């Protein structure tokens, strides 16, 4: 098992609490994440993502690799930001891994975030191990994206259940419905 080096990673932290924001930054810097950018709420994050696309020099980063966003923020919360990232035509990267951070871990809320295309879910209070697990999940187990009429986001099926029926669909990279995304 190789040791990872995150010095070339750029992470965007979106958090309205100055305390939590500084704590997250501290933790990410300790993990030797190369570039960390912060925004106070979803609206600021959207503006930052647009700036990054139009003027990377001014934004200070060319591409964000992972977004870590709090859910409950005002005026634009984490869910609205996630929706913009996944669905808006101006989004610079609709496939970007999105970690939602929240203190409310009710199943209905997890389902709500999942159905909007969240990649991973991180519950407060969290230990450094939890952050590491989520980052490693994003790096080691990236999921294919699915686009249907009602959904765009990472494949929500994580369980690999055996299918015994007669009409099993076999999906390969060469299948007509599969598109390989470069870059």
- Among candidate residues 30, 32, 38, 28, the one with its CA nearest the CA of residue 7: 32
The rounded distance, in Å, linking the Cα atoms of 15 and 143 is 25
Q: Tell me the sheet residues that pair with 99.
A: 68, 120
Q: Interface with other proteins includes 139 (CB under 8 A)?
A: yes
The rounded distance, in Å, linking the Cα atoms of 179 and 159 is 22
The rounded distance, in Å, linking the Cα atoms of 96 and 84 is 12
Q: Interface with other proteins includes 179 (CB under 8 A)?
A: yes
Member of 58, 127, 158, 165 binding other proteins (CB under 8 A): 127
Part in contact with other proteins (CB under 8 A); list of ranges 47-55, 84-92, 122-130, 156-164: 122-130
Site for other proteins in 71-90 (CB under 8 A): none
Judged by DSSP in three states, 12 sits in: strand
Sites of contact with other proteins (CB under 8 A) = 1-6, 8-9, 15-20, 23, 26-27, 29-32, 65-66, 95, 97, 125, 127-129, 132, 136, 138-140, 142, 144-149, 155, 171, 173, 175, 177-183
């Amino acid at each position: 098992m190789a040791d990872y080096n995150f010095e070339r990673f750029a992470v965007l932290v979106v958090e309205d609490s100055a305390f939590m924001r500084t704590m997250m930054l501290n933790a990410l810097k300790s993990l030797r994440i190369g570039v960390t950018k912060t925004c106070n709420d979803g609206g600021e994050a959207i503006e930052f993502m647009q700036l990054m696309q139009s003027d990377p020099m001014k934004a200070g980063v060319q591409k964000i690799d992972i977004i870590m966003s709090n859910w409950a923020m005002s005026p634009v919360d984490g869910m609205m930001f996630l929706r913009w990232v996944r669905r808006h035509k101006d989004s610079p990267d609709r496939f970007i891994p999105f970690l939602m951070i929240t203190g409310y871990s009710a199943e209905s809320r997890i389902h709500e975030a999942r159905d909007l295309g969240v990649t991973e879910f991180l519950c407060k209070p969290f230990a450094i191990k939890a952050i590491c697990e989520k980052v490693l999940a994003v790096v080691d187990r990236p999921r294919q994206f699915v686009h249907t009429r009602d959904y765009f986001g990472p494949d929500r099926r994580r369980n690999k259940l055996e299918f015994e029926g007669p009409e099993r669909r076999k999906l390969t990279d060469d299948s007509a419905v599969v598109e390989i995304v470069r870059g």
